Amino acid sequence: MPRVFFGVEIPSEVKKRLLALKTPINGARWQSRNQLHMTLVFIGSVKDEDLDTLSYVASLVSMPAFEVEVTGLGAFGRPEHPRNLWAGVSPEAPVAELYGQLSAQVAAAGFETEHRGFRPHITVSRFRKQAASIVSLLEEHGQDRFGVLPVTEFVLFGSAPGAGGSVYTVIERFPLQPPLDETDQPDQI
């Protein structure tokens, strides 16, 4: 049974800036270029026949494309003993709307989703239990700007274990609507 989740791919230039953060920190497992993404809805293991249902419900999401800036760093867990180092996005509202629509469709189709609060982020590193502090890293780079992330689509990813951590593959892409260009406003009567 494949493990799957919905997410957003990250542009190469943003990945390059995030990967430049990699420093020797005891217990850190830095994400590779191919692992960097923004998770929207994690599903977990599903039967092969459920992939069609997930594709269908994802196709029901309807919202315009948008841009966010990848900016700032934070940690899940205390910075002295972190579980994850992440980069944030701003503004969070359009990502939260996309998450809300998608998670509602997935739940309505009968799939279990995570019940913890949604915080849009890109995981940069995961840490083992005895990880060293990242306080100085957060002080030095906590306000950094890593670039613009155009969100024109979201993706159904497959996840499989690999020698260097999880390996993600794109199963299907779901385009968002083109943003309404101010020059394309409907005629006023």
**pLDDT score, position 130:** 83
Is residue 121 annotated as part of the catalytic site, yes or no? Answer: yes
pLDDT of residue 180: 66
Asked whether residue 184 is domain-assigned, the answer is no
Does some domain include residue 173?
Answer: yes
Give the pLDDT confidence score for residue 189 in this predicted structure. Answer: 52
Q: What is the CATH number of the domain that holds 48?
A: 3.90.1140.10
In a domain? residue 188 = no
Residue 60 sits in which domain range? 3-178
* Domain annotation covers residue 68: yes
Q: Which of 37, 81, 115, 141 is catalytic?
A: 37
Q: For residues 176 and 80, what is the distance between their CA atoms, to the nearest angstrom?
A: 39
pLDDT by 10s per residue, the chain, length 189: 789 999 999 999 999 999 999 999 999 999 999 999 999 999 999 999 999 999 999 999 999 999 999 999 999 999 999 999 999 999 999 999 999 999 999 999 999 887 778 999 999 999 998 889 999 999 999 999 999 999 999 999 999 988 888 899 999 999 999 876 654 555 555
Q: What is the pLDDT of residues 116-153, one digit of tens each?
A: 789 999 999 999 988 899 999 999 999 999 999 999 99
Instruction: Give the span between the Cα atoms of 175 and 59, in whole angstroms.
Output: 8
Other Cβ atoms closer than 10 A to 174: 15
Q: Does residue 189 form part of some domain?
A: no
**What is the pLDDT, as a whole number, of residue 112?**
86
Would you say residue 93 lies in a domain?
yes
Is 81 marked active-site?
Answer: no
Structurally, the chain folds into a number of domains equal to: 1
pLDDT of residue 181: 63
Say which of 81, 115, 121, 141 is annotated catalytic.
121
72 lies in a domain?
A: yes
In a domain, 185, yes or no: no
Helices of type H across the chain: 12-19, 50-59, 93-108, 135-141
